[in-house]
Amino acid sequence: MKKHAALSIALLAILILVPAFAYANFPTLTSSFGGRVITPDLPIATCYGLGTGPVVLASSIESLGSAVESAAGVGGQTTPARVNNVVSGIYGAIPFYTTFSLSADAGGGFHFVGSVPKTGDWILGRASVIPSFTTCTISDTVIPFPVRKTSDYKTSGAAL
């Protein structure tokens, strides 16, 4: 049982330290994302900055389910495959933080580029590969809540 606890702590340390190291070397690395918005705001997280989030997509829920399934050992996977699938599933479940960019208009003022995601909308865009641990916290604590920041996205409204 101690082996599992040590492995869990090592994986958690890797999830925190590798993104910090990678961000120092590749600050603009992005990947595409998309899907239906389940919720544009989680009440357990408080985010700081000009944006909306954490935005949870249907694909985030599917990734979390995949991680749980792999952790339970369903499907007769080898241990390295299970660990890989759990880490991949947890990474895929990290919600997004949609930041707004300002653009100057003809009247000399500014307006937001991009629309605020709403429940049921479809969203498509590019997000940072490295999760941000400084944008959101769990409620009013100092415990970081990881999010993947994006400022390059579009939404398409759809009724549920």
Burial 26-44 (b: 16+ CB within 10 A, else e): eeeebeebebebbbbbbee
Helices 58-72, 79-92: crossing angle, 10 deg rounding: 160
Q: What is residue 74's predicted lDDT score, i.e. its pLDDT? A: 76
Check whether 52 has a pLDDT greater than 90. Answer: no
Q: What is residue 139's predicted lDDT score, i.e. its pLDDT? A: 84
Task: Report which of residues 14 and 92 the model is more confident about.
Answer: 92
Confidence label for 104 from pLDDT (cuts 50, 70 and 90): low
Residue corresponding to tokens 């996205």: 153
Tell whether pTM > 0.85. Answer: no
Q: Return the half-sphere exposure (C-beta side, CA atoms, 13 A cut-off) of residue 36.
A: 9
CA–CA dist 53, 98 (Å, integer): 6
The highest-confidence range among 64-68, 124-128, 151-155, by mean pLDDT, is 124-128
Residues 6+ apart with CB under 8 A from 21: none
Contact 88, 60 (CB under 8 A): no
Q: To the nearest whole percent, how much of the chain has pLDDT over 70? A: 77
Q: What is residue 160's predicted lDDT score, i.e. its pLDDT? A: 46
Check whether 22 has a pLDDT greater than 80. Answer: no
SS3 115: coil
Could you tell me the two tokens for 157? 């409204």
Average pLDDT over residues 62-75: 83
